[in-house]
Structure 1
């Protein structure tokens, strides 16, 4: 059952029927006590009314009426029974003075015995008669209420529908909205119980608006970034077509080849950035223990040819042991490769790029330092933005490397800092929570 209205109807009717059942039981108990009190009084009055009657030692007489549910026994002073109204009754042959409840045969009996003059008079009544009277009294009280249960169901159904009408109105308002209508929902007329839902929906709409704005900005920036290399490729292609000699054609083809490489790299970085963004990364990334020192050694080995081709000294200054974090190993490798690639691209020939893995301030730090021109303190926040490049940047980078690193750091809850390296260049640090301190969900 998924309908809230049906669930509320069944729950409320069930609760009402349960209350009626409890009330019926209580009513039956009260009616039973009242019947007991009245019938005990009748037993006593009937016994007292027989004190002046004469009873001889004759055989018991048959009851005058089957509906007469009292049994009368009378003994003389010597214990000889003078009278028994029901000859087949199984009441005890001895009397216990006063009121008593006794078990005789298959039924319980309420008995009243009293000594009067020279005889003992006993009047008894089956308890089943009293139970039947109590049940009849209780039913006469509850039957009208039970008859009203269907009417209660209809009233409850109507009232629940009326109470849920604001939710229907809210749902209709959401369903008819256009996909690009992300303005907050109005809380006017919404019941207090539904205000958290409206607040949650407005929060979702706000996040969607921000995500769409970021997506539009990303698409616009990507189109702008791709326009330049594609335009350059077109020009280089035209130069190739216009080349008069083999040497000119070879030079134009070399430029065209370099332009293609740059365009391919830009597209790859765009795809990487799109995958690593927190709002587009997979919900369940492959998180596992990652040894930062081993990751650094692997990256050094892979990027050593690029550093050697640019006459850069690439190495490690410190690699802490047991530097284990829980992370997406492929994403960390992407971040580290981008940091090293950026450092190599912006470091002049003969410079140095150093890696380090350290423990400090309760975190494991992955550091990449270079001896390049560095970044001015006031520009360090800007370089983390997509497609941002410094005006005096001499490299042919796309301005996406640090943005990719920032996205990966945000996914892993890592601290990203930029400061000045010992050699005067840039030092980028990623601080991770150690695996032994990480939350199981990280």
Structure 2
């Protein structure tokens, strides 16, 4: 595809109508010049005809005429046009040039009429008048012919001058159009310069283009580019953060894998040392898989430019119950009792179901992973009424594990923050960061609280109720616990 210059396109769109107008003016000017020259010379030619017609007299019953010198003197010009005349009365030649062509049709009496013809090999313009002689009741035809050299030369000069003026105006107009287009498109050159300045800024956020001085016609384009740059900066920030997190967190499990793979080569397959290294490799692979999944989840939720929240109304109780049932088997394997309760009536919220599902799974994974054998995990959904009369939905997960000290609860939401305790399983420190990011995108809040009545932690998610009319706050019924 050929890339055409915007300046050329704009100038072309302006010059084509100008050329059409110039052509129309040229045609109109040519008509005007021809009409002006013809009328000017015809007035002089008509004056000569009238001068001769006024000298017609009757002498001895015959029509006579005394040709005044002024009749032909007024027709003299620098081109020395030839003058011919004739006076006839009812096909009777009286004076002048007898062979001067007669009209095919006589004009009306006392009316000047003009016609073009050829006489003696030259184009001539003839003015004529039929003059009544009332004494004898005769009609005399007076004709005066003039060659057209003078009028043609004058018309040619006027057309040449008009053409020269038109060409000059067209040239000046074209130059002004081109200059106006160049000046008008200068902001695009400045924008190109701004883009070139930002070309080498891949290692840092790209600054938005300044809007000051941008023409109103280009403002939507520059604003759209700034929005695109903002999305690109967010995506690049997420990518840089993901790369930094991955390089930081993947180093340890990869080192473990390399070490144990080396040990496998040194031990006899099937031996106790070989099996121990094999088990450590399995553990490292699982940790690596979980870490990568969490990093990808965190990167996807933080990349607002590529992630679109698909809000829908759904029953919060159903999602909480389904996730709790999915974790029942995992809790049973670790000898942990998992229970669930919620109101009988539906609790309708407007959010992205996937976000809440993933957030709850991360919370349950932490509650089960860091709990002790024989511990308890409780999942619940309830409605809470505020003092203003409004209602919110609460989704909470309680456990009686080691909990999180109150002074570190806010830090627990930061990336890779872990509370080191003896006997705790390994983790990435990303679980609560992912939960907060998911819940924030779902327009909710998440809080870490002390478990009522004893040891452990209560994680509480608060969401707005979408349809209060559809949500009835009935009494809670405890679902049968899923026991280990």
Q: Is TM more than 0.5 here?
A: yes
User: What residue number does 1:60 align with?
Assistant: none
Distance 1:420 1:238, change over 3 A: same
User: What residue number does 1:401 align with?
Assistant: 431
Q: CA deviation at 1:417?
A: 0.9
CA deviation string 1:393-424 (max 9, x = no partner): 966442323443455567xx531312367965
User: What residue number does 2:461 align with?
Assistant: 428
What CA distance in whole angstroms lies between the structure 2 residues aligned with 1:17 and 1:359? Answer: 77
User: What residue number does 2:163 align with?
Assistant: 142
Matches within 5 A, 1:98-177: 118=134, 137=158, 140-142=161-163, 145-146=166-167, 166=189, 170=193, 173-174=196-197, 177=200
Q: Does 1:388 align with 2:421?
A: no
What CA distance in whole angstroms lies between the structure 1 residues aligned with 2:42 and 2:439? Answer: 88
Aligned-partner SS, 2:376: coil
User: Where do 5+ consecutive residues of structure 1 fail to align?
Assistant: 58-67, 100-110, 435-442
What CA distance in whole angstroms lies between the structure 2 residues aligned with 1:32 and 1:314? Answer: 104
Distance 1:182 1:422, change over 3 A: closer
Aligned-partner SS, 1:352: strand
Residues 222 and 270 in structure 1, CA contact (< 8 A), matched pair in contact too: yes
User: What residue number does 2:330 align with?
Assistant: 306
What CA distance in whole angstroms lies between the structure 2 residues aligned with 1:181 and 1:264? Answer: 30
What CA distance in whole angstroms lies between the structure 2 residues aligned with 1:358 and 1:53? Answer: 124
User: What residue number does 1:2 align with?
Assistant: 4
What CA distance in whole angstroms lies between the structure 2 residues aligned with 1:46 and 1:358? Answer: 115
What CA distance in whole angstroms lies between the structure 2 residues aligned with 1:224 and 1:320? Answer: 44
Alignment partner of 2:242 out of 202, 218, 229? 218
Distance 1:306 1:86, change over 3 A: farther
Alignment partner of 1:265 out of 272, 275, 290? 290
Alignment partner of 2:303 out of 251, 274, 278? 278
Q: CA deviation at 1:205?
A: 6.7
User: What residue number does 1:108 align with?
Assistant: none
Residues 356 and 366 in structure 1, CA contact (< 8 A), matched pair in contact too: yes
CA deviation string 1:94-128 (max 9, x = no partner): 569799xxxxxxxxxxx998988847989999xxx
Q: CA deviation at 1:298?
A: 4.2
Q: TM-score, normalised by structure 1?
A: 0.58
User: What residue number does 2:377 align with?
Assistant: 351
Q: TM-score, normalised by structure 2?
A: 0.54
Q: CA deviation at 1:88?
A: 5.4
Structure 1 stretch displaced more, 316-325 or 7-16: 316-325
Residues 235 and 305 in structure 2, CA contact (< 8 A), matched pair in contact too: no
CA deviation string 1:254-298 (max 9, x = no partner): 56644442232112222333344426737xx79696745565554
CA deviation string 1:297-345 (max 9, x = no partner): 54344333234443121344467477676x6x65664445334434554
Residues 311 and 350 in structure 1, CA contact (< 8 A), matched pair in contact too: yes
CA deviation string 1:6-58 (max 9, x = no partner): 3234234324323423543664576577457646744753553343254989x
Distance 1:338 1:145, change over 3 A: farther
Residues 343 and 369 in structure 1, CA contact (< 8 A), matched pair in contact too: no
Structure 1 stretch displaced more, 217-226 or 41-50: 41-50
User: What residue number does 1:102 align with?
Assistant: none
Length, aligned pairs only: 394
Larger C-alpha radius of gyration, 1 or 2? 2
What CA distance in whole angstroms lies between the structure 1 residues aligned with 2:355 and 2:109? Answer: 98
User: What residue number does 1:49 align with?
Assistant: 51
User: What residue number does 1:414 align with?
Assistant: 442
Aligned-partner SS, 2:337: coil
Residues 238 and 303 in structure 2, CA contact (< 8 A), matched pair in contact too: no
What CA distance in whole angstroms lies between the structure 2 residues aligned with 1:254 and 1:290? Answer: 45
Alignment partner of 1:370 out of 382, 387, 397? 397
Q: CA deviation at 1:207?
A: 6.7
Residues 363 and 432 in structure 2, CA contact (< 8 A), matched pair in contact too: yes
Aligned-partner SS, 1:427: strand
CA deviation string 1:144-201 (max 9, x = no partner): 54488689868977997797695598289459747547676999xx996699788987
Distance 1:176 1:258, change over 3 A: closer
Matches within 5 A, 1:323-338: 333-338=357-362
Distance 1:98 1:213, change over 3 A: same
Aligned-partner SS, 2:53: coil
User: What residue number does 1:437 align with?
Assistant: none
